[in-house]
Structure 1
Amino acid sequence: MLEPDDNGLLALLAKNVAVELADTHGSVRITSVTSPDDAIAALSATLYDCVVLDLALPGSSAFDFLERLQESQDLRQPPILAYSAHRIGVSRQRLAQARFRIRRMEPLSSLDELRERIVSQLSADRPDSTDQPDGVVSFAAVPTETAVPPGDGDALTYDELRDRKILVIDDDVRNVFAITGILELYGLTVIHAPDGRMGIDALLATDGVDLILVDVMMPEMDGYATMTAIREIPRFVTLPIIAVTAKAMPGDRQKCLAAGADDYVTKPVDTDELLGCIRRRLAYQEPGGKKAR
């Protein structure tokens, strides 16, 4: 996995695929890098069945990697799944198209599409290699390996969260994209509002919201005021609310709880922390935001 953050969203998606394929394919070796240098080093050291490339890498890192891979004639070059959630500039499109014509590369713009292609690549016949243990598939270019053995995926599934409805109130598009990607990957339905007032309007207009994620730092009506206003509406008194804060400062937790939050998480949001927090808060909540008896 070559993406901006170690164990980012794309690595998380790959791990879930690995869990699903564990019974039929054995362990899948997944690792993550954040620079072209580490990616090339990993490909030089190990045979991989597939590479996932995030075209949103800072600067020209993604295309630097392609250029270096192009020049490394002695490297075995596995299929490349090039993912981009956002439109890229014209110059980058032209460069990418040139790479697509000469490399085993496939551009993808949705996580569902990427997931299907990962499954397809890992299900394909693999070349023989004396470097690979029996029953192990190597996936992506990475220097640090994370093996996902069969039957060890319980913490990655969160099946009980599937089809739950989450309202995300946040004005930062980047945060919304990251959080939404995580939640939708696990089968949750996400509704978004860009500020506190619109969040309350969305809550009143939408049936069956199970939980609210509120960013504390928003212009005009901030997260504290938003949570306080929500708690003043009788039918939302027990609806779970998780505050999202930029950093854990002394007194943050108490301030969030005083405003009406049940819990809080800090940015950058850790996937397992967020999902674990949501799972804890929904354990006593029936679907639709009703408190279980």
Structure 2
Amino acid sequence: MAKVLIAEDDRISQKLAVKIVEEMGHTAFVSPNGKHAYEALMAGNDFSMLLTDIMMPEMDGRQLIQTLRGDQQFMKLPIVIMSAVVGISEISNLLELGATLFLAKPLDRKELQEYIRRCIHGAPNNGD
């Protein structure tokens, strides 16, 4: 069982992501913004991955990625971006900043499950 941090200010997206993570047998923790997510990570919580929105109050997803990737202890943390409001060039920029994967909203259950498997287990599961 892995611990997944979900940085998302939209309640519907929060609930869906939590449900999918928990259905897979993992534990989900929700942060309402990037600053809260960063503080949770800095508190020494052993998260296996981060799911984050881009558009959030206080610290957005872009700032969160930059901050985390600038800290040695988070260099290898898988970070999956969940967003509905970005174009191809923005996705490319986020991946260059250090995001591991990009997931378009509204969230697709099978796609999110596959991304979680990849991030936590390191390999795709073809038996699903």
TM-score (structure 1 length as normaliser): 0.40
Contact 2:2–2:120 (8 Å) recurs in 1: no
Matched, 1:263 2:109: no
Q: Deviations over 1:165-203 (max 9, x none)?
A: 100011111110111011111211011111111110001
SS in 2 for 1:184: helix
Contact 1:167–1:192 (8 Å) recurs in 2: yes
Give the unaligned 5+ runs of structure 2: 124-128
Return the letter of the residue paired with 2:99.
Answer: A
Give the unaligned 5+ runs of structure 1: 1-162, 286-293
Looking at structure 1, the residues matched to 8 and 98 of structure 2 have their Cα atoms a distance apart, in angstroms, of 17
The number of equivalent residue pairs is: 123
Return the letter of the residue paired with 2:22.
Answer: E
Matched, 1:178 2:16: yes
Q: Root-mean-square deviation (CA), in Å? A: 1.6
Looking at structure 2, the residues matched to 256 and 220 of structure 1 have their Cα atoms a distance apart, in angstroms, of 18
| Structure 1 counterpart of 2:126 | none
Looking at structure 1, the residues matched to 110 and 58 of structure 2 have their Cα atoms a distance apart, in angstroms, of 31
Contact 2:54–2:83 (8 Å) recurs in 1: yes
Select the residue among 244, 255, 259 that pairs with 2:82: 244
Q: Which has the higher contact order (CA 8 A, sep 6+)?
A: 2
Query: Quick check: which has more Rg, 1 or 2?
Result: 1
SS in 2 for 1:212: strand
Sequence identity, in percent?
A: 32
Return the letter of the residue paired with 2:73.
Answer: R
Deviation at 1:261, TM superposition (A): 0.3
TM-score (structure 2 length as normaliser): 0.88
Looking at structure 2, the residues matched to 180 and 255 of structure 1 have their Cα atoms a distance apart, in angstroms, of 27
